[in-house]
């Protein structure tokens, strides 16, 4: 495990250069994939990215009471995070149209992390830790790299910062922090299960006492990250329920007046409902009353009524 995770030994420089080369290329691939809204390209960046190794190295150094490698792995992760964000920012400068959640599905999928994302990251981190300990299941690591996204959210942070969307950048950074905290927490649990916490403990238990603050910090990080994720989950769930209610009320009103609901979308200022139908355009007082009766009086709903005119061309003979 030391050979896989630590930058030490006679080939330390070679491994260090390999890490930064792969990370730089993965950051470029991820940023290009996000800019081009290409899922396949972003997945390729996930497989290439080596950022999970020093994150697991932090946990291994902690349980082995290896302060030198703990510092090296920690600085490597911090440097890697800053490098990927910078590359994302630079790639964003090449785009004429700002890369935001409004026009890019890769960004939209990474700026509103939910509690379910943390749960998935915990399970994926456990698989990655077990694969590190057991060579007979190490072939699952490419799948782990795809499932637990590290580099793409950081690329999104850089690109949304360049686009002037700090709120979206924070959301992507929160997703990265959730994934990192999940890896750290599950790696600690898995390594404890395999008995690694008993390694290198002195008769007086000094190593065990030194590990305790690290365990507390990791647990606190998971809890701190879980709070905004839970808040987002509640907000998204409430928004989905309200959107369904608005759609139901608007569809019933439209059917009564011979109109059709084209779309119901939730924007920053409330719900936007678009309808089409024949002239004359019906009044909307009864629609407002129906929304109030459905408990949606506190929701801002903007209704766009588009008159539909049909002209039929056919044979005159």
Q: What is the pLDDT of residues 248-293, one digit of tens each?
A: 999 999 888 888 999 888 776 788 899 998 888 888 888 888 888 8
- Indicate the range of 110-119, 126-135, 138-147, 223-232 predicted with least confidence: 138-147
Contact indicator for 297, 291 with CB cutoff of 8 Å: yes
* Pairing, β 270-277 against β 301-307: parallel
The pLDDT assigned to 208 comes to 52
pTM above 0.95, yes or no: no
* Domain limits, the chain: 2-200, 245-307
Which pLDDT band holds residue 315 (cuts at 50, 70, 90)? low
Say if residue 140's pLDDT is above 70: no
Six token digits for residue 304 = 């766009």
Six token digits for residue 306 = 């588009």
Q: What is the DSSP letter of 307?
A: E
Burial category of 205 from C-beta neighbours within 10 Å (exposed 0-12, middle 13-18, buried 19 and up) = exposed
Say if residue 207's pLDDT is above 90: no
Give mean pLDDT, residues 51-71.
Answer: 85
């Amino acid at each position: 495990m030391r050979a896989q995770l630590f930058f030490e030994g006679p080939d330390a420089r070679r491994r260090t250069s390999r890490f930064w080369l792969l990370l730089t290329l993965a950051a470029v691939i991820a940023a290009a994939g996000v800019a081009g809204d290409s899922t396949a390209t972003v997945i390729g960046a996930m497989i290439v990215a080596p950022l999970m190794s020093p994150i697991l190295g932090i946990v291994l150094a902690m349980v082995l009471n290896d302060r030198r490698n703990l510092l090296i792995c920690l600085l490597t992760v911090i440097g890697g995070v800053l490098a990927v964000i910078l590359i994302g920012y630079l790639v964003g400068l090449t785009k004429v149209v700002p890369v935001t959640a409004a026009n890019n599905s890769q960004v939209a999928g990474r700026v509103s992390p939910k509690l379910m994302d943390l749960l998935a990251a915990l399970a994926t981190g456990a698989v990655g830790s077990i694969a590190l300990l057991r060579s007979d299941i190490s072939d699952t690591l490419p799948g782990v790299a795809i499932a637990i996204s590290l580099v793409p959210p950081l690329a999104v942070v850089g690109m949304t910062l360049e686009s002037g969307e700090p709120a979206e950048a924070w959301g992507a950074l929160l997703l990265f922090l959730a994934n990192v905290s999940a890896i750290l927490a599950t790696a600690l649990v898995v390594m404890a299960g395999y008995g690694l916490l008993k390694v290198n403990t002195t008769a007086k238990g000094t190593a065990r006492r030194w590990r305790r603050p690290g365990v507390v910090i990791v647990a606190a990080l998971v809890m701190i990250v879980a709070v905004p994720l839970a808040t987002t989950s509640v907000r998204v769930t409430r928004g989905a329920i309200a959107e369904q209610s608005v759609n139901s009320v608007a569809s019933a009103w439209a059917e009564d007046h011979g109109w059709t609901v084209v779309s119901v979308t939730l924007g920053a200022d409330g719900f936007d409902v678009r309808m089409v139908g024949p002239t004359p355009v019906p009044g909307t007082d009864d629609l407002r009353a129906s929304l109030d009766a459905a408990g949606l009086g506190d929701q801002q709903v903007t209704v766009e009524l588009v008159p539909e005119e049909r002209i039929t061309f056919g044979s005159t003979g």
